[in-house]
A and B are shown apart, each in its own frame.
Chain A
Amino acid sequence: MNELVDVLDRLAVRGTPRGVDSVFDAAVRASGQTPPTGSLPDVAAGPASSSIEIVEVSERSTSPSRRRTMFASAAALVAVAAALATIIVIRSPEQHTSQPLDASAPGTSLPTSPDSPPLVGVPALSSSIIGSKPTASAAAFGSVVAAVLSARDASTPDLRETATRTTDQGQSVSYAYFAETDRRLFVLSGGPDLIASVPGLPDQLDPGPHVTTGVVLVWPEESWRRTVALSTVNSVTIISSEAVNQTGAARSVGDLVDLAIKVSSPDSTVLDAFAAATPGAANCSPPSPIIGNEFRGTSGNGQLSGLIFATKSSMHIGDDIKLVVRMTGFGPLTITATAPDGTSMTLPPTPHSGSSFDRPGDEWDTGITYQQAGCWQIHFERSDRSADVWFQVAS
């Protein structure tokens, strides 16, 4: 008995083959040789109206394996950047809007088959979203959208819908729906107890061999649809990919996990957001971008990143603010603040020997008390570099 041959043979037959036709058709589509074909309506055409609609994904097969499938919805998160609302509008102004959802509007923009059983869990979540009031933070979801759109796919997915809502269970949930030529991608994000709090979703977690535990959950796999969830300390991100006509292939699980990491990682999200943000300019037209408590300066020859330490989420007259900045270049740093009325003052920088603020350049901290409302300019200068930030201070 040759054990190695036995092992190789067992390994060689693992998994359930999708079959020649399925694999070949998917490969042809992926290669871009021929346009996709399918019996389902062209959902990639998207909703006819420009209003946001809730995406409800329904099963189109009565097979047991498909009935226990996952729901698909997409993405994530978090706290950052009202500034990024503009990204959504810029990408596709006719299709995306941060307008509140009309709770009475029809809830489905994807075709469904009347004789197909509903997908367990998804209707529960969808109805929760539909029946609830929208939150005011839909714009913050833009950072996630930006992360997905910049993902490494060869084809750029087309963002069709995005919104942030509060479910009946009090969960703030953001989702986005992206369409590609022959696939669609759903991203949904909520708090760390999202899965446990939404009725029906835990039932989808099959304890079978395809499920992993830890920070990544992989739902039972189907050739045409795959769903993973990434649980971090602050959020749960669920990402699902499916082939439009169910004969093609979804992305691999590994691709989805990579994408979940990308949209869930605060650091990469912030960096992506700054990369997409408009730099600050004179007279706060616009103000320097602030994401979370981090800001970016404007420089023609260097880089300036900083942190704002304040007790309020926005800056007001009288606030005593501590700033930590990192700036590239060499030589000592001089900081000059110019008030809205044109008066200037020098801010004393204190050099830091090191910190966890992982941005380019050397680090200092300084402090400022805003004595006037309006646009403040802070000028940073080293021997070979200079940079500016413009902050809007409220009265």
Chain B
Amino acid sequence: MTGPVAVPPLQPSHDVGVTDQEIFGQLYPGLRRFAAVVGAVEVDPDDLVQDAVAHALVGGSLSRFDSPGAYLRQAIVNAASNDRRRAGRRRRALTRLGGGLTEAQPSVYPSDITQLARFSPTIRALIYLRVIDGLAYDEIASILGVSSSSARMTLSRALRSIRSSGLDTPSPKDHHE
């Protein structure tokens, strides 16, 4: 794998009268990839996507959003963050129940992925949106609900941290603004 993979645009152009399912159909491949990176490795990416869509549909149709893709990505990050907090509580409970035993982690993925896993869902989302989707900091900031300068600084620190662990990373400036 040598470079970014084409993903559906964040804000698909859909005609008036397009159904929610059609909107979702356009967004699904990109959302699932995003969820797979943002969520913990033991969480099914489809679960995160499903939770995000269900959350969005509670308030009405997907077509009410200017950018349903951006909204759903934000919802995925929120769901992943909640999962991460819950996992922490669960780990403590399991330790208590198991008399010191802890839930073993499935060793499905190579260690370079675990390096990413130590970052919060928000930071993983930031890395993905910048490095893979190639979004500008303004767009990333609006999706993640942070300021543009904060997104830039956080990504810079994260990439530096990844680089210090021996993984080759692109420069944040490798991508267009």
Contact = CB atoms under 8 A, between A and B. Distances in A.
Interface of A: 1-15, 17-18, 20-24, 26-28, 30-33, 209-216, 221, 223, 230-233, 249, 252-254, 257-258, 261, 264-265
B132 A8 contact: yes
A259 B103 CA distance: 15
Contacts of B36: 11-15
Interface in B43-86: 43-47, 49-51, 53-58, 83, 86
Given A32-B58, A212-B104, A23 B98 contact: no
A12 B131 contact: no
From A8, A18, A231, A249, name the one whose CB has the most chain B CB atoms within 10 angstroms. A8
A211 B169 CA distance: 32
B42 interface: yes
B16 interface: no
A221 B170 CA distance: 35
Contact of B116 (A11, A209, A215): A11
B162 to A, nearest CB: 6
Interface in B109-137: 109, 112-113, 115-116, 127-128, 131-132
A264 B131 contact: no
A5 B53 contact: no
A254 B131 contact: no
Contacts of B5: 9, 12
B168 interface: yes
Nearest to B7: A12
A9 B1 contact: yes
Given A7-B113, A11-B36, A252 B44 contact: yes
Contact of A4 (B25, B103, B168): B168
Contacts of B46: 15, 17-18, 22-23, 223, 249
B113 to A, nearest CB: 5
Contact of A5 (B2, B45, B87, B103): B2
A352 to B, nearest CB: 23
A232 B97 contact: yes
A212 B102 contact: no
Contacts of A210: 106
12 contacts: A13-B33, A14-B109, A23-B49, A30-B51, A30-B54, A31-B54, A31-B57, A214-B94, A215-B102, A252-B44, A257-B103, A261-B97
A2 B162 CA distance: 12
A258 B113 contact: no
Contacts of B47: 249, 252
Contacts of A8: 37, 116, 127-128, 131-132
Nearest to A22: B46
Nearest to A223: B46
A31 B52 CA distance: 10
A7 B112 contact: yes
B53 A23 contact: yes
Contacts of A215: 94, 97-98, 101-103
A27 B105 contact: no
Contact of B43 (A4, A7, A23, A252): A252
A216 B49 CA distance: 25
Contacts of B32: 17
Contacts of B2: 1-2, 5-6
A253 B162 contact: no
B83 A216 contact: no
B41 interface: yes
B17 interface: no
B146 interface: no
Contacts of A232: 97-98
A9 B132 contact: yes
Interface string B122-159: 00000110011000000000000000000000000001
B84 to A, nearest CB: 10
Contact of A1 (B44, B102, B168): B168
A15 B169 contact: no
Contacts of A23: 24, 28, 46, 49-50, 53
Contact of A12 (B20, B41, B44, B132): B132
Those 9 A-B pairs whose CB atoms lie nearest each other, nearest first = A27-B53, A31-B57, A30-B54, A12-B33, A215-B98, A3-B168, A27-B54, A214-B104, A4-B169
A6 B170 CA distance: 11
B108 interface: yes
B53 A24 contact: yes
Residue of A6, A32, A231, A254 most packed against chain B (CB within 10 A): A254
A233 B99 contact: yes
A4 B162 contact: yes
A242 to B, nearest CB: 15
Contacts of B128: 8, 12
A15 B44 contact: yes
Given A14-B36, A23-B28, A24-B53, A5 B4 contact: yes
A217 to B, nearest CB: 10
Contacts of B49: 23, 27
B32 to A, nearest CB: 6
B160 interface: no
Contacts of A6: 1-2
B1 A4 contact: no
Contacts of A221: 44
